Amino acid sequence: MLTFSLTWAQEINLERLDNGPGLLPFKLGPMQLITHYHTFLQNIELTHIDNNINEIRTQLNKALDRLDNYTSTLYELQLDNLHSKLNKASSHLQSLKPNRFKRGLVDGFGTVIKSITGNLDHSDAIRYDNALKALNDNQQQIVIEQNHHISLSKDLMNEHTKIITKLVENQAQLNESLHILLDADKYKKYNLIKFAKFSQILQIISNNVDSLLSELSRLENAIALSGQPRTHHSMLGTETLGNMIRKLGTIYDKNQLLDLEIREYYDIMKPLAYYNGNQIVFAFKFPITSPQKFLLYKLVIVPNKNRQAIIPSFPFLAITGNIHVYIEAECPKVASEYLCEEKLNHQMKTQPDCICDIIGGRTPEKSCSTITISLTKPAMEKLDDRRYAVVIPKATQVQLICEREESMILAGSFLATIPHNCKLRTEEFTIANMNDHIQGQPIKISNVPTETEELTMPPLKINAIDLKKLHSIQDRIESQKPIHIEPPSTIYHTTIPFYSTILAMLILGAILSYRIYIRRRRQMKIPDEATYADPETSEARKSQPASQDQSKLSTIFHLKI
């Protein structure tokens, strides 16, 4: 181990990993594996709320009609305020109802189920809907469809229906108070008691409508938050949540349930929501874990001095006894334990492999398979805020910074422990510990026998070759005369039509050229006209003067035809 001590007891520890197997397991801590989810359903009938709002509005209108002018003036402000709240509640309720859509746009099942969050499969909604129909017929406080891990908590629904129940009860008191107010025999005509009684009932109903508005706002927020990976506290009260956890204790063993504080359950519950006609159905999914407790390791690839490394199938490994399972990504941490989901492609295996033997301190039954890794520049991987795996392939200058700064030349693989507010810097990266959050503990492994790709190849046996026969064959080849290959006289059938066509075109061109030449020659010749002399006139012409004869000479023109 290389230890570089700095002032004030601050030190950066660089532990060499060159003699290791090519893998550094980093123990993260205990882990629980989720096998399935148990779902609690809550259905809210929007039509029932709408009917109660309309009944209150109708009842107030009837009461106003029965009051005389003097009495109606006395309660005018209260009645108007109550009507305004009812209209607001009715408008708010309409905004919660699903938009109408055609039957053909839903799916082949022809149902009116519509997902709110987008993260709910239609098959799950159908399953929940069938469970609701079956479970609503049961009169117990909680009933369970064990085969599908679905429960319907009527305590959960009663939390919502309390407000509606109070509205119905106060409507009866309103009728009774109105009857007293209008009964002249019960009290005197303008007795203050009956006026105060009626005013109190109106105020109570107004408070009930305020509670209804708050519940509608809660539903609106619950719908908006139902797509989140955790449940918001406004969606579910702590009292109702406690009842649900107690019900789970009657269904599953204690070691299958997470031992958490009640408010920590909000972080692990998954909320879903969908419309079923005029119903809003909320589904709260509780994780159910395996009874077995695992230890979770992060597998960090660190080449040794021979540049050999063990490559795991996935970067995380969970082990309990001889059972292990590889996990593709780091799981969320709840309280002091990690919570991982069991995937179909990550089935648990009962036979330990080479990496499990290394972590358990056992000698592997066979050498671990390794591969050669060649890095061109320094690399690092974070284990937690304090520990890092650093690989420096060649001699590189490294700066260690705490209260003072030091520089040195390093090469190889290291486990770097960085104290709080200290830094390790190279040309490629800078490591700084600012939060000093420790997540786990590295597992120090001594060198174990490994096998590389080169060693797995069988050794090559090369025998001497007798070259005498080869030389004799070469002499025979050189003594032979070269073979003259005459060019083939075969004319391919595809060339004959081609040359025939060219020859015919040449002959035709020659004939046409010759005819044009002959025609031009004939046109250029001057036709010779024959001249015959008359014997009688010839002598007379001779007797005439020369000037006269010259004037009478005929003129000949050359005509080109």
Task: Name the more confident of 410 and 113.
Answer: 410
Q: Alpha carbon 498 to chain centroid distance?
A: 66
Q: Taking CA 93 as the corner, what is the angle to CA 87 and CA 99, rounded to the nearest 5 degrees? A: 125
Q: What is the pLDDT of residue 287?
A: 92
**Is 231:194 a contact under the CB 8 Å cutoff?**
no
How far is residue 235's CA from residue 276's CA, in Å, rounded to a whole number? 19
Q: Does an H or E element contain 476, and which?
A: helix 468-479
Alpha helices in 294-450 (DSSP H): 354-359
- Tokens, residue 150: 């679905």
Smallest CA-to-CA distance from 31 within 350, 339, 326 is with 339
Q: How many residues does the chain have?
A: 561
Kindly tell me if the per-residue pLDDT of 110 is higher than 70: no
Task: Name the more confident of 66 and 206.
Answer: 206
Residue 301 falls in which region: left (phi positive, over 0), alpha (psi -120 to 50) or beta: beta
Kindly tell me if the per-residue pLDDT of 239 is higher than 80: yes
- The SS3 of residue 191 is coil
Kindly tell me if the per-residue pLDDT of 156 is higher than 90: no
- Tokens, residue 187: 């009290």
Question: Region 151-156: what's the mean pLDDT?
Answer: 62
**Is 316:297 a contact under the CB 8 Å cutoff?**
yes
Percent of the chain with pLDDT over 70: 65
Smallest CA-to-CA distance from 2 within 326, 417, 384 is with 417
Q: Taking CA 207 as the corner, what is the angle to CA 204 and CA 211, rounded to the nearest 5 degrees? A: 135
CA-based Rg of the chain, rounded to a whole angstrom?
52
Query: Where is average pLDDT lowest: 185-194, 292-301, 428-437?
Result: 185-194
- Tokens, residue 92: 């708010």
Residue corresponding to tokens 């209209």: 87
Residue-wise pLDDT for 390-401, tens only, equals 999 999 999 998
Residue-wise pLDDT for 264-291, tens only, equals 899 888 888 888 778 888 888 999 998 9
Kindly tell me if the per-residue pLDDT of 528 is higher than 60: no
Instruction: Tally Cβ neighbours within 10 Å of residue 131.
Output: 21
